[in-house]
A = this chain, B = another copy of it.
């Protein structure tokens, strides 16, 4: 703790007897100097408290060691979890993650990209808001700075995309629900803020038709990201009005399912598969709270970790190689069925 503070590299150079360019090389890549030199530097760093001034460093580098991470909503456990996975991995690769949330607002998303520009990041991991995103601004951004999309796909945007295989996961769920009871209706928001929702509806319809059933889509009104509340209100109308076409509802995502479960409970409907139950509800995403709903929610889990890792690795490859891939790759991960009590 009694380390002597050293402010500049030049000072450290005179104190340690190592030339400043060598120190500079070392801090840019410790392996770029000879073993013996690295040992000497490490010894010096044990003795003196020196950290390179990041502002001076970045001023002279066209590419910084920053990686921007832009997500639509930090409160959403999916993105909180993804960012948690991402941070240490960035750090380990020698990059500095900068986390920005758009809080569901397209203006905020554009601002985030704008402020990232000022930071000159080596690359950006972007989960776009979706339909409401300013595509033009985003495209311009992705052209200047290597950008990899995850979660939400926007065709042709960025160097690659990583997300969940909605066709597979919704298909699996529909197949399960049909096998074990009445075929499900599909519960979704009309103005879905996210292309995943559209893909999931299509996957639902395709799966139903494949199984020879008539698709039943319950398209509810509602704006914004307060999914639970929107689902609660709509569910109230549907249940009270006797408008549910079947006793099984597959929700486009867990947060809608949580709202629907809440209103079913409040209205005295027993949800589940056992005797006495009059409604089955299933979700999609394996939201952290879904195992604590009443009853616990049957859902499709996506591997947060897998998606996060793959996205980051893709970006790191691009950054390290210094060249953008010619082809844009799309990688989708299969979900797995989480069988719980609600369906």
What is A's interface to B at a CB cutoff of 8 Å? 51, 53-56, 58-59, 74-75, 77, 80-81, 83-84, 87, 91, 96, 98-101, 103, 111, 115, 117-120, 228, 232, 258-259, 261-262, 265-266, 288-289, 291-296, 341
CA distance A98 to B119 in the complex (A): 12
Please, which residues of chain B bring their CB within 8 A of the CB of A59? 53, 55-56, 59
Q: Smallest distance from the beta carbon of A70 to chain B beta carbons, Å? A: 12
Residue from B51, B232, B292, B341 within 8 A of A259 (CB atoms): B292
B118 & A54 in contact (Cβ 8 Å cutoff): yes
B293 & A294 in contact (Cβ 8 Å cutoff): yes
A228 & B289 in contact (Cβ 8 Å cutoff): yes
B101 & A84 in contact (Cβ 8 Å cutoff): yes
| Sample of 26 A–B contacts (CB below 8 Å) | A51-B118, A53-B59, A54-B55, A55-B55, A55-B56, A55-B58, A55-B120, A59-B59, A74-B84, A75-B81, A75-B288, A84-B103, A87-B103, A96-B115, A99-B101, A228-B289, A228-B292, A232-B292, A261-B292, A261-B294, A262-B292, A262-B296, A265-B295, A289-B289, A293-B294, A294-B294
